Structure 1
């Protein structure tokens, strides 16, 4: 792609008419209408910017634009998909194409057999750690031919992404195109302009999220099932997610740190590896002892296996935890969190490096980064800590020429991460307490007390003035088990199978507290059914409030 002037004269820039379509706005009413008649719609604009979301299903058949520009970073689009994107505009005009010289997130495996083997190995290890049968636990509901096809397609995609420049050049040549190379010299001025533009876009996004209106959990959940959200709704949902994840005020700097959820996922990984293993158990086949991952890890795997039928969608968090634990990261992190310092010659660190080099293929497959043959201990530690949202800092000790670097955790990142972990623990405790409270006192919520206490005079007051009375109403003490709550869950599940009116009829019989407790228990027992309700009944969570859906006989 030849360098283009990024600072045209103000008069011309002001006259440009630009339309942009991407994944966040392609579902809006105006863009749906635009896409339906795109050949005529583009005639009102000087430029059309599109993302891969407009790579198929449309074409512009009449001449309007005099050039097509393609910028491909090698993240998601293969050569075939890049070519499809270029040819959405049918008239023959020059293509100006730039392709990243290498994949931004590293080269990936192209061998379909190895991809399948490592996928099943990871699934099997997770099944083993969850104490379920290895053979049945390594596969989901997918057929053999479907898994084979998936791995073959994935291998082909990886090959194209690994070699996108050559692959796209070869494909376009076969399609009759002639290339004019403009060189690979960089343009420092253009590069700085692009960086400034990217920073401005990021800053505008961070500010919009931080200033967005606060919404409730029920509003957030109701919006997740919508096909399209307007920009303000997107910002509000993002603000809620960040606030709920970190437990602090949402500022522009926090939105920037979050990086679209990457930081909170990293801190979740940190919480997992800091937690001690539940217990050890022995593999009867090999006699080798293995630690059991913490409950917060195994619960995520069990939930995914219950709700995601295809094994290619499983996260295998237990296998990831075990990989870090076997490398010795748990022990090293405990020391660093206490405030200890380590050197490059630390025994535990040297052992971790040796294990990583020996198991480089497994580290790449499970943890996602490549171990170089000359791997340095501090580089390895810093890379693994970065995956967990932490950073290393160092100080020098000793005389000049004999100084040794002492490495420790950066306090700012550590304190922030520990605050977030404490917030996550508190959220889990609150959920457990609500569930326990509902289980202990379900009768207090499941009955509509229409009857009034009956006040009768004492026997010796018959015929006399009713100046005093006696409360003879008897209330049973609430049961101390979860039977009633579980019964309510089954009633609600039966209502879900019968439709919207049945759900409303059931909820009307309960007070608001029992409605919420039942839904929380349903989330644990059958989350997939709750997701179905959310998608089919967007106002479902509003019905849990008695102000919206009053109880029968209330008022």
Structure 2
């Protein structure tokens, strides 16, 4: 609704520091549209738009609903005082901080995504070069939004990334190895092929000596992954 009103364009100008008098075309269009569609504005935005109010007053109601306000000045022009409105300075600072915070969040997410891709590519290359098997890949999502395709269903792993789950399973495999190779093999049998690949590779990363012992005890371990 606010988009159809043209409020976004007005806000962008106000955030940029533009001053308005209320007779600007976009402000007048916003006010006229609001009056013509007063019943819809009331039903959707819960704002009452009187037909006899000014464009500036109507704009102020929309801004107030967003937690914003205006401040004004009255310079002398051609012998008359003319009132100019601009967004409250504190509001501008707050909005800029929010936008900067959101931008940093997007940049951080993109950085983490790229780091994850780089790490996955390194794992894939290492798995292929050392063991000649297909590298693990993050499983696609199920219809319910999860990516658990037959793996161990644990509370710890339900809310973390696929590689974090692999690290969790790798630690379990290390702990189970004290009970023998079959205990590790049994754990792997509950996972998907991709997860088994990742777990074994992470096993080696965490404890190379123990992994070497597992390979010595079970030289056919690569077959477990298929």
TM-score by length of 2: 0.59
Is residue 422 of structure 1 aligned with residue 100 of structure 2?
yes
What secondary structure, in the 3-state scheme, does the structure 2 residue paired with 1:494 have?
A: coil
Partners in 1 of 2:22 and 2:155 — Cα distance? 67
What's 1:225 paired with?
none
- Conserved 8 A contact 1:434-1:517: no
Is the alpha carbon distance of 1:506 and 1:390 closer, same or farther for their aligned partners in structure 2, counting shifts above 3 Å? closer
- Conserved 8 A contact 1:363-1:370: yes
What is the CA-CA distance between 1:549 and the residue it aligns to? 8.3
What's 2:171 paired with?
550
CA RMSD of aligned residues (A): 4.0
Aligned residues: 170
Q: Deviations over 1:149-174 (max 9, x none)?
A: xxxxxxxxxxxxxxxxxxxxxxxxxx
What is the correspondence of 1:92-491 to structure 2 with a 5 Å cutoff?
323-398=1-76, 402-442=80-120, 444=122, 474=130, 484-487=137-140
Partners in 2 of 1:403 and 1:549 — Cα distance? 75
What secondary structure, in the 3-state scheme, does the structure 2 residue paired with 1:407 have?
A: strand
What is the CA-CA distance between 1:366 and the residue it aligns to? 1.9
Is residue 503 of structure 1 aligned with residue 153 of structure 2?
yes
- Conserved 8 A contact 1:364-1:370: yes
What is the CA-CA distance between 1:551 and the residue it aligns to? 4.7
TM-score by length of 1: 0.26
Unmatched runs of 5 consecutive residues or more in structure 1: 1-322, 450-472, 497-501, 508-514, 520-542
What is the CA-CA distance between 1:438 and the residue it aligns to? 2.7
Unmatched runs of 5 consecutive residues or more in structure 2: 175-205, 208-226
Partners in 2 of 1:475 and 1:418 — Cα distance? 52
1:493 to 144, 148, 156: 148
Partners in 2 of 1:517 and 1:434 — Cα distance? 12
- Conserved 8 A contact 2:31-2:55: yes
What is the CA-CA distance between 1:383 and the residue it aligns to? 1.4
Higher relative contact order (CA 8 A, sep 6+): 2
- Conserved 8 A contact 2:28-2:55: yes
What is the CA-CA distance between 1:402 and the residue it aligns to? 2.9
Partners in 2 of 1:404 and 1:341 — Cα distance? 12
Partners in 1 of 2:97 and 2:78 — Cα distance? 39
Is the alpha carbon distance of 1:379 and 1:545 closer, same or farther for their aligned partners in structure 2, counting shifts above 3 Å? farther
What's 1:208 paired with?
none
